[in-house]
Amino acid sequence: DAMVIQNPRYQVTQFGKPVTLSCSQTLNHNVMYWYQQKSSQAPKLLFHYYDKDFNNEADTPDNFQSRRPNTSFCFLDIRSPGLGDAAMYLCATSRVVTDTQYFGPGTRLTVL
Amino acid sequence: AQTVTQSQPEMSVQEAETVTLSCTYDTSESDYYLFWYKQPPSRQMILVIRQEAYKQQNATENRFSVNFQKAAKSFSLKISDSQLGDAAMYFCAYRGPTTSGTYKYIFGTGTRLKVLA
Q: CA B16, CA B86: separation in Å to the nearest integer?
A: 11
Q: How many domains does chain B have?
A: 1
* B54 interface with A at CB cutoff 8 Å: no
Contact between B75 and B23 under an 8 Å Cβ cutoff? The reply is: yes
Residue A27, class by beta-carbon neighbours within 10 Å (0-12 exposed, 13-18 middle, 19+ buried)?
Answer: middle
Residue of A nearest to B90 (CA): A42
On the CB side of B33, CA atoms within 13 Å amount to 16
Give A-chain residues touching B5 at CB under 8 angstroms: none
Q: Taking Cα atoms as reference points, which of B107, B113, B116 lies closest to residue B6?
A: B107
Q: Is the pLDDT of residue B16 over 70?
A: yes
Residues of chain A whose C-beta is under 8 A from some C-beta in B?
A: 4, 33, 40-45, 55, 90, 92, 97-98, 100-106
Residue B67, class by beta-carbon neighbours within 10 Å (0-12 exposed, 13-18 middle, 19+ buried)?
Answer: middle
Report pLDDT digits (tens) over A10-61: 999 999 999 999 999 999 999 999 999 998 888 999 999 999 999 888 889 9
Domain ranges for chain A = 4-105
Q: How far is A69 from chain B (nearest CA, A)?
A: 22
Q: Is the pLDDT of residue A1 over 70?
A: no
* B47 interface with A at CB cutoff 8 Å: yes
CATH number for B45:
2.60.40.10
What are the Cα distances from residue A66, in Å, to A25, A76, A83?
Answer: 16, 5, 20
* B45 interface with A at CB cutoff 8 Å: yes
Beta strand pairing status for A10-13 and A107-111?
Answer: parallel
Q: Does B47 contact A102 at a Cβ distance shorter than 8 Å?
A: yes
Report pLDDT digits (tens) over B98-115: 776 677 889 999 999 999
Give A-chain residues touching B106 at CB under 8 angstroms: 45
Q: Does B44 contact A105 at a Cβ distance shorter than 8 Å?
A: yes
DSSP β-bridge partners for residue A103: A92
Q: State the residue range of the domain holding B65.
A: 3-116
Report pLDDT digits (tens) over A51-78: 999 988 888 999 999 999 999 999 999 9
Higher pLDDT, B1 or A8: A8
Residue of A nearest to B97 (CA): A98
Q: How far is B110 from chain A (nearest CA, A)?
A: 6
Structural fold of domain A4-105: Immunoglobulin-like (2.60.40)
- Find all residues with CB under 8 Å of A72, minimum gap 6, and list them: A24, A25, A26, A28
Q: Does B107 contact A104 at a Cβ distance shorter than 8 Å?
A: no
Q: DSSP 3-state assignment of A82? A: coil
Report pLDDT digits (tens) over B58-80: 999 999 999 999 999 999 999 99
Give A-chain residues touching B29 at CB under 8 angstroms: none
